[in-house]
Amino acid sequence: MEIPLSCYLVLSGILFVCGVLGFLIKRNIITIFMSIELMLNGVNLSFVAFAAQWHALSGQVFVFFVMVVAAAEAAVGLAIIIAVYRTRETLNVDRVNLLKL
């Protein structure tokens, strides 16, 4: 029994949509950031699925790069979150809507 590629892609789509929804409805900035990671993961899955479909390892290499970028992004992003929290003393994005303090 083999799984159609579309199943993997739909799974990846569900993860991505969940990520976007999380971005939209979550207020905690850390959770929003995690939603982004969820989106990236969803995309990664479609990369790997396509790699398997087309017998091209490049897809997996792309996943590797995405992970690297995600790691860098997490480091910087969390540092930014810490900096934001230090100045605003809140993690709620609805309260972080002014450029000036």
Partner 1 sequence: MFHLILFLFFGAICVAGAVNLLVQSHPINSALSLIAVMASLAAEYLLLGAEFVAAVQVIVYAGAVMVLFVITIMLLNAGAEERTKGSRVAILIGVPGVTIGGVLVAWTLLYRSNTRAVPIGALKGDPSDIARLLFHQFLLPFEVTSVLILIAIMGAVVLASRPEAVARGPRKDG
Partner 2 sequence: MTPNPYLWLVPILPLAGAAINGFFGRRSSKKAITAVALVFCGLAFFLALVIAAGFSSSSAPYYFNLAHWIRAGSFSVDFEFYLDQLSLVMLLVVTGVGFLIHIYSVGYMWDDDGYYRFMAYMNLFMFFMLTLVLAKNYLVMFIGWEGVGLASYLLIGFWFTKDSAAAAGKKAFIVNRIGDFGFLIALFLMIKHFGSLDFTHVFTAVQSLPTETAGVGILTAIGLLLMVGAAGKSAQIPLYVWLPDAMEGPTPVSALIHAATMVTAGVYMVARSSAIFDRAPTAMMVVAIIGTLTALFAATIGIAQTDIKKVLAYSTVSQLGYMFMACGVGAFSAGIFHLMTHAFFKGLLFLAAGSVIHGIGGEQDMRKMGGLRVYMPWTFMTMGIATLAITGIPPFAGFWSKDEILWRAFGASWVYWLIGVVTAFITSFYMFRLMYMTFGGEYRGAVAQKAMVHKADAHGHDDHGHDDHGHGEPHESPWVMLGPLVILAVLSVVGGFVGYGNRFEHFLAPVFQGAGAVAREGAREAGDSTIEYLLMAVSVSVAGLGWLLAYLLYSRLPQLPARIAASLGGLYRAVANKYYIDELYAVLFVKPLIEGSTTILWHDVDQGVIDASVNESAHAAREVSDSLRHMQSGNLRSYAGWVAAGGAVAIAYMVWMGVR
Q: Which of residues 38-97 bind partner 1 (CB under 8 A)?
A: 38, 41, 44-45, 48-49, 51-53, 55-58, 60-61, 63-65, 67-76, 78-83, 85-86, 91-95, 97
Question: Binding to partner 2 by residue 98, rule CB under 8 A?
Answer: yes
Q: Report the C-alpha dihedral over residues 24, 50, 62, 78, rounded to 10 degrees.
A: 20
Name the binder of 10 from partner 2, partner 1, none, CB < 5-8 A by kind.
partner 1
Tokens of 49: 């699925």
Separation of alpha carbons 60 and 49, rounded Å: 9
For partner 2, what does the binding mask look like between residues 9 and 38, x meaning CB under 8 A? -----------x--xxx-x----x------
The nearest distance, CB 57 to partner 2, in angstroms, is 28
Task: In whole angstroms, give the CA distance from residue 97 to residue 101.
Answer: 10
Q: Which two tokens stand for residue 42?
A: 């969803």
